[in-house]
């Protein structure tokens, strides 16, 4: 692949919460011609998400929170129902990040997680790779109410519901988040509950 790309240049367009780059490069197409291509790439690091499931109750834990990019697109969809998730700090592993995020966002102290996939959710614009996990939870693991970290401007509603209802919410469009849909489908395909 590297012999089909040359003359790569980067220009920083923004370096606020994350880095927005303009990347220009020459690309050789299948017919042999070279063309100058320009793309924007948003680099905010990698992230992780987890579906918590309870076999005995047949339930899963999801979150509901305000998402400005969605609201900007469609005000009626600004509140997003998602799996617990977060950005991976440079000093953390995906596993340690998701265990911390579970306690902060939904109030459960879990010790073991299983990574089930990695995915680029928007590879045409984002550098972010999502590490996706599943883990069992029980009522005994509840250590606080969750809700997120106030200093990080989080206000998260914790939702416990039957897996069958969550799957139905994908069909009705109540759940539109890609990582959540992938993990719910994983749970359904693999009969987790």
Phi, psi values for residue 84, rounded to 5°:
-60, 135
Task: Label residue 135 by pLDDT band (50, 70, 90).
Answer: very high
Is the domain of 37 the same as that of 19?
A: yes
Look up the CATH number of the domain holding residue 116. Answer: 3.90.79.10
Residues 113 and 83 in one domain: yes
Determine contact, residues 166/173, Cβ cutoff 8 Å. no
Q: Are residues 145 and 182 in the same domain?
A: yes
Q: Which residues contact 190 (CB under 8 A, 6 or more apart)?
A: none
Which pLDDT belongs to residue 133? 98
- Whether residues 51 and 141 share a domain: the answer is yes
3-state DSSP assignment of residue 140: helix
- Shared domain for 117 and 169, answered yes or no, is yes
pLDDT band of 43, cuts 50, 70, 90? very high
Q: Do 8 and 80 belong together in one domain?
A: no
Residue 61 lies in domain: 47-189
Residue 71 and residue 164 in one domain: yes
Q: Flag whether pLDDT at 153 surpasses 80.
A: no
- Number of structural domains found in the chain: 2
Burial 46-59 (b: 16+ CB within 10 A, else e): bbbbbbbbbeeeeb
Same-domain check for residues 119 and 157: yes
Residues 163-190 have a mean pLDDT of 97
The two structure tokens encoding residue 100:
């911390």
76 is in an annotated binding site: no
Q: Quick one: 132 and 74 in the same domain?
A: yes
Cα gap 132→141, rounded to integer Å: 21
Predicted confidence band of residue 145 (pLDDT cuts 50, 70, 90) = confident
105 is in an annotated binding site: yes
List Cα–Cα distances, 104 to 112, 180, 193, in angstroms.
16, 18, 24
């Amino acid at each position: 692949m590297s012999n089909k790309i040359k003359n790569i240049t980067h220009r920083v367009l923004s370096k606020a919460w994350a880095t927005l780059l303009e990347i220009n490069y020459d690309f050789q197409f299948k017919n042999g011609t070279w063309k100058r291509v320009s793309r924007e790439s948003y680099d905010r690091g990698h992230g992780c998400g987890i579906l918590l499931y309870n076999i005995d109750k047949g339930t899963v834990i999801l979150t509901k929170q305000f998402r400005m990019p969605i609201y900007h697109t469609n005000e009626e969809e600004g509140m997003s129902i998602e799996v617990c998730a977060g950005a991976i700090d440079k000093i953390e592993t995906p596993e340690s990040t998701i265990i911390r995020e579970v306690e902060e966002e939904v109030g459960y102290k879990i010790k073991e997680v299983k990574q089930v996939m990695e995915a680029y959710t928007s590879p045409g614009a984002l550098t972010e790779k999502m590490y996706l996990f599943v883990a069992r939870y029980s009522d005994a693991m509840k250590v606080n109410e969750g809700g997120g970290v106030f200093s990080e401007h989080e206000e998260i509603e914790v939702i416990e519901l039957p897996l069958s209802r969550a799957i139905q919410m994908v069909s009705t469009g109540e759940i539109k988040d890609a990582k959540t849909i992938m993990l719910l489908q994983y749970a359904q395909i693999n009969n987790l509950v």
